[in-house]
Amino acid sequence: MKTRILFLTLITFLVCNSKTYAQVDVVTGLGLPTDMAINGNDMYIVENGGRKILKIDITSPIPTTATDIITGIGGGAGLLLNGNDLYIAENSNGKISKIDITAATPVVIDVITGLFNPQDMILSGNDLYIVEGIGGKISKIDITATIPVAVDVIRGLNNPSDIILNGNDLYISEFAGNKISKIDITATTPVAIDVVTGLNWPSKLELNGNDLYISEFFGQKISKIDITASLPTTATDVVINLAGVTATKLIGSDLYIAEYSAGKISKLSLTASGLTNVPDPNLENYLELHNAQGMPVALNSPNSMGDGINGNGTVFTNRINTVTKLEVPNLTISSMVGIEDFAALKELNCKMNQIGTIDLSQNTLLEKLNIGQNQLTMLDVTSNVNLIDLVCLSNQITSIDLSMNSMLLNFDGGNNKFTSLDFRQNTKITTINGSTNQLTNVNVSGVSTLTTLALIDNQLSSLDVSTNINLRAFFINKNNFSNIDVTNNPLIDSFYVSDNQFASLDLSAQTNMRVFRAENNMFTALDFSAFSRLFTLILNNNQLVSLNIANGNNTGLFNFNISGNSGLTCVTADAATPAAGLSA
């Protein structure tokens, strides 16, 4: 495996991409900055390329100029301030050193040597935890010891690059492992647990409350996770298209960024007045080139939903917070970050994109949502109490809580991975599609408004529809049913029960039914003599020995198939009136 030192040499040649946020340059012309440390208004910066420590005053007008503090260090991957002592992870020299930042002429003092490519460190009491990149481990020393000795805390990590402590949890950025893991530092033998995977060479970490900010070097972005979320969790993009980001430092609401390949420190405000972060370039492009009504406009138009700069990752908040309808289907959008500032949004159509997560908790006025044909594994609509229409078909969602959506009229969740659906709180709903899932349980009790229920291609064997008295279209084909009670559903007009295990079915209440499909079952006898409105009757591949279709209107039976019933030798029909669509 390549060492981290070699990696940092190679990435010098990466081309600097344009940034995408309301960023400003703080200081430029640096020699491959890798980390920062803050002491009041002073920011200390380590240059891996320049092999030195510099300092800037973050209150100075920007862009500002850096002052050399000390030169000639052996590379520099990480910094840590402890009082007046600035600890330096010298990755090339395999050691941790320190300087006194109050000294007129600081002198480098070795703290511990003989380390394997130290990348960064963190202090807990007197214990200095050290990231040894090539060593694939976390070690620790007692900084009060006369001659500190490194003790291994955990080994077997995949080129770790940074650590951060939250209580007893030590979060570890595994650079080549493309993940963040964590250990309990109080454990006798700590075991690494994956927190988030699938990152793109994560480097430094920064914790702000429950938000863990992650510098993804090859991803050229900053992402974040909620450390309170169930594990493993998923990272959300905060800023994209950075020039090889290696580190972040949060001061108030300002996030300072070390852009390694661009040789600079930039910053952005996470609560920048008037700006909304829109990291997805395709979503931003749409907003820049359309007005609030969805009509095309020129870039920098005063009627645009953007900020006039296409590709900077921001739009003006006051241009989107009154938008009531947003239609962005089929635009190859992968992130909907920024949607939270569409405070007045009532209709959102973002179907046929590549969206993996979406936060709709701030869109409390939302009435119509179509997020079908994306890559969602979960969808939270508990804050969207005004939701009327919900389309989330063709995703990978495993469960959904609809208990807060009492206004819901239509639900289309077909082609997902649902195992259970509960509509008991949706007492106004009229249409449900839960087809092509893995359903074993569906609860529609008390939903008397329901008129269409489609549950095709699932694993259902029972279903209570006794209270769904207005049910008209009922599709339960391709399940495991052998019986179902529809005696309280006299309005059923279309009934599909194909590909089940029915041998008999009481249809005495459905005499006004027009369509009945029941192929591939085990029916032996059926009587439709009272079904004068019957238009379609498909009964092929059953075990019929008796069939009565003498309903006085066989001329209206346009679709009729009874093939594959070898025991059926005679069909009772209207005298001398063959069915128009007969297939026997």
Query: Residue 212 class from Cβ within 10 Å (0-12 exposed, 13-18 middle, 19+ buried)?
Result: buried
- Reading the chain (584 residues) residue by residue, the pLDDT tens digits are 233 332 332 232 222 233 334 578 999 999 999 999 988 889 999 998 889 999 999 888 988 999 999 999 987 789 999 999 999 999 999 999 999 999 999 999 999 999 999 999 999 999 999 999 999 999 999 999 999 999 999 999 999 999 999 999 999 999 999 999 999 999 999 999 999 999 999 999 998 778 899 999 988 888 889 999 998 899 988 777 888 888 888 776 678 999 998 999 998 776 544 688 899 999 999 999 999 999 999 987 878 999 888 887 888 888 999 999 999 999 999 999 999 999 999 999 999 999 999 999 999 999 999 999 999 999 999 999 999 999 999 999 999 999 999 999 999 999 999 999 999 999 999 999 999 999 999 999 999 999 999 999 999 999 999 999 999 999 999 999 999 999 999 999 999 999 999 999 999 999 999 999 999 999 999 999 999 999 999 999 999 999 999 999 999 999 999 999 999 999 999 886 554 445 55
- The CATH number of the structural domain formed by 4-11+22-266 is 2.120.10.30
Under 8 Å between Cβ of 67 and 110: no
Q: What is the dihedral sign for C-alpha 31, 32, 37, 41?
A: positive
Distance from C-alpha of 551 to C-alpha of 568, rounded to nearest angstrom: 19
Query: Residue ranges of the domains in the chain?
Result: 4-11+22-266, 274-417
Q: Quick one: CATH architecture of 274-417?
A: Alpha-Beta Horseshoe (3.80)
Distance CA 151, CA 153 (A): 6
The two tokens of residue 182 are 């964590």
Q: Please tell me the distance from the alpha carbon of residue 431 to that of residue 471, in angstroms, as a whole number.
A: 10
Which among 117, 129, 40 is positioned nearest to 83, based on CA atoms? 40
Pick the closest to residue 12 from 37, 39, 30 (CA basis): 30
Q: Burial level of 13, CB count in 10 A (0-12/13-18/19+)?
A: exposed
Of the candidates 279, 157, 240, 215, the one whose C-alpha atom is nearest the C-alpha of residue 33 is 215
Amino acid at the residue 450: L
pTM of the full structure: 0.57
Please tell me the number of Cα atoms within 13 Å of 524 on its side-chain side: 2
